[in-house]
Amino acid sequence: MAGKIVFIGGGNMGRALLGGLIADGTSAARLAAAEPDTARRHALAEEFGVLTATHGAELVADANVLVLAVKPQVLKSTARSLAGHFGAARPLIVSIVAGVTEADIDAWLGGGFPVVRCMPNTPALVRQGISALHANPHVSAAQREQADHILRSVGAVLWVQDEAQLDAVTALSGSGPAYFFAVMEVMEQAGVALGLSTDIARRLTLQTALGSAVLATQSGDAPATLRAQVTSPGGTTQAALEVLQAGGLASLFNEAISAANRRAGELARQAQG
């Protein structure tokens, strides 16, 4: 994958992708990052040895790939500040900015750009994330592979056929880590209420969550099958699950994820303003 990859934004996700690419063998000489925050910019240069700048316009002229990793509310002004600073060829635009459409990104940059929009999640920080990607019609097969390679450096990758599906992805996996953290939180609290120390309750909870995820990933069985396998009739697990089911666990999650999906659409509309 030749050419320079320029990051616009050096926050947690941009930093994770830089680290993932370098760990995968990409030379630091092919990477650059624009970050207005002085401390953050210096940290990127020191940790990764990449070229940095305060403003993206200083870096984009020779970019082969441009990774947009800024907050949604500043993307419009950031993109417009880059327009007119590109070289003769249009770089591939890889956006990890939640809720902002490919059409808006393309228009703000000046039009005619190949744009891949991505929805990663925070386990990317430990290279265990999953990202859903969608490409606009200007993206070539080779550019799809470039985008795939960048996001694959921090976890699994899948492609969706319809850009609108990225709102559902945001609701399910983008926000999803918080749902699991909330479950871990209340399980830990329940363990403490039963007399365990906080340390023991936390270790039991976290390792159970990790082991369950690994088992579900490696077994190939559906979660419903795995749940049934660990639920003995009349046993402790069945007693617990009956309480969760009576409390409306499934409907609560349906409502929660639907609310996140609606909010993703609202944020996209706000970003257009």
For the chain, domain boundaries: 4-173, 176-268
Mean pLDDT across the stretch 133-151? Answer: 98
SS (H, E, C) the chain: CCCEEEEECCCHHHHHHHHHHHHCCCCHHHEEEECCCHHHHHHHHHHHCCEEECCHHHCHHHEEEEEECCCHHHHHHHHHHHCCCCCCCCCEEEECCCCCCHHHHHHHHCCCCCEEEEECCHHHHHCCEEEEEEECCCCCHHHHHHHHHHHHCCEEEEECCCCCHHHHHHHHHHCHHHHHHHHHHHHHHHHHHCCCCHHHHHHHHHHHHHHHHHHHHHHCCCHHHHHHHHCCCCCHHHHHHHHHHHCCHHHHHHHHHHHHHHHHHHHHHHHCC
Give me the chain's average pLDDT, please: 95
**CATH class of the domain whose range is 4-173:** alpha beta
Is the pTM higher than 0.85?
Answer: yes
Q: pLDDT tens for residues 149-181? A: 999 999 999 999 999 999 999 999 999 999 999
CATH of domain 176-268: 1.10.3730.10
Confidence band for 273, pLDDT divided at 50, 70 and 90: low
Q: pLDDT tens for residues 183-222? A: 999 999 999 999 999 999 999 999 999 999 999 999 999 9
pLDDT over 90 percentage in the chain: 92
